[in-house]
Every structure is written in structure tokens, then in C-alpha cells.
Amino acid sequence: MATEQVLPGVYKIGMGYVNAFLLVGDDVAVVDSGLPNHLNVITEAIAVAGRKLEDLKHALLTHHHADHTGSLSAVMVATGAQAYIHPLDAPIVRGEKAAPGPNTTIMAGRLLGPIMQRLTPKLAPITELQTVNDGERLDIAGGVTVVHTPGHTAGHVAYLWPEQGGVLFAGDAAGNVFGLGAPTGMVGGMFTEDIPAARESFRRLAELEFSTACFGHGGVIKGKAHAAFRRALERLAK
């Protein structure tokens, strides 16, 4: 089953190596839109949440990468949902600016980057984007706060939903790919634009209060998630 309930009102939509999430309040919001051609998976997830595709009103994007914005245009065409993104990543999704290439300060980026880049799907530009800035509170599911977490991309944002002990949608500002409840501040190394900035953003996330953490890649951490972030930070500092 691709869809898994995380908490009442929060669902994880698994799409292979990448996750999107549903946040269900009066309306339905999707956090990231996953790989291209996955509208059917999003539609199924909304049905699992007991809602209809037309209830989907918002698409909260964490960053411009194609595995997070892939089904966005299909979602918007099918539902008329409003998409939100930080102003530094918006021009890439709008097709006004090319996505930065792989990070060549690290070995993997130099060796594998050009191949990975060729495998990255080219998406049609999307112009109807609402930009969101750090600290902004969006009137979605009772209120969601935007946390600018630059590094993985310049305009990367996380979203914090303060209900149910706090739910952090970290996007790729942190990952949990080893599934050990040990978040890392390094996601997709070669596709992280600015590694020192990403580390600083991870530190910033560790200062927030949340008990559940949802990641673009890897399993959800449920319960005391902020403590797991702080432990990971201590390890990074060593």
C-alpha cells in the first residue's frame, strides 16, 4: 500500500524512493507532489483519507527538484489547487532559470552528476505559483508555518504544523533513508547546492518543537522526533 496514515490528518504517500504527504483539514493539502505521472497515486491517497480529489486545494512544495514537483502540473490541472514555493526556487519551476547542476565540490557529484542529471525528467514550466517566505503562516489545516531551510536548494523550505505535538515536513532539508530513526542533514549529497548552508538549516530544524518528522526520503519518525534531530546534530558536531 503506497499510502500510510501517520497521524489523524497526516498521510504518507510512498512513491518508491521519494515521499509526498497529505495534510487533511477542512481542505486537503499535498506536501510535495512526487514523481511525474503519479496523479493516480495521489488520488488513491486522498481516497484512503476519506476525501475526494476535488477537496485538494493546496500543494506545498519544499523545493524545485523534479522528484518533488513531478506531478504538480497534473495535480493543478485536475484540481485547480494553489501551489506554494519559496521565491528562490520559483523561477526554476516556472522555467525561467535552469536548475543548478550537480555539486562538483563532492566526488559523487563530479563522477555521477552528469549521468544523474541526464536521467532527471524535464518538466513543463508551471507559472501559477504563490511564493512563501520564512515565518509565513499559511491558513491551511488550522495553520502551517514556513521555515526557510536553504542549502539543499537555495529556496528549500520545511513546513511545520503545530497540531498533534508538532509535525515537521522536512522535505530534503533532512532525510531518514537508513530508517534507523536517525535523521541526517545530508540528503542527495550531489544534488545539495550548498552543503555548509544545508548543515546550518539542519541545525535550525533541530531547534524547532515537533514530535513527528516527515521526510522526502525515508521513513517517518513518530514521537520525540525533535530529540532524534538533536542527537543527530551532536553526532555531526563530533
Q: Which is nearer to Zn ion, 9 or 219 (CB)?
A: 219
**Footprint of Zn ion on 162-181 (CB under 5 A):** 172
| Angstrom distance (rounded) from CA 189 to CA 148 | 19
Interface with Zn ion: number of residues (CB under 5 A): 3
Q: CB 66 → Zn ion: shortest distance, Å?
A: 9
Sole window of 77-85, 112-120, 123-131, 216-224 interacting with Zn ion (rule: CB under 5 A)? 216-224
The minimum distance between CB 17 and Zn ion, in angstroms, equals 8
- DSSP one-letter code for 84: E
- 148 near Zn ion, rule: CB under 5 A: no
Cα pseudo-dihedral 64, 68, 72, 73, rounded to 10:
60
- Least distance (Å) between residue 121 CB and Zn ion: 13
Which CA distances in Å does 165 have to 3, 63, 107, 136, 208? 22, 25, 40, 20, 11
- 226 touches Zn ion (CB under 5 A): no
User: Which 50-69 positions form the footprint of Zn ion (CB under 5 A)?
Assistant: 65
Candidate residues 113, 155, 216, 218; the one interacting with Zn ion per rule CB under 5 A: 216
Instruction: Identify which of residues 167 and 193 has a Cβ nearer to Zn ion in the complex.
Output: 193
194 binds Zn ion (CB under 5 A): no
9 binds Zn ion (CB under 5 A): no
CB-based contacts of 218-225 (< 8 A; 24+ apart in sequence): 218/19, 218/175, 218/176, 218/177, 218/178, 218/179, 219/176, 219/179, 220/6, 220/12, 220/176, 221/176, 221/181, 221/183, 222/6, 222/7, 225/168, 225/183
- Residues in contact with Zn ion by CB under 5 A are 65, 172, 216
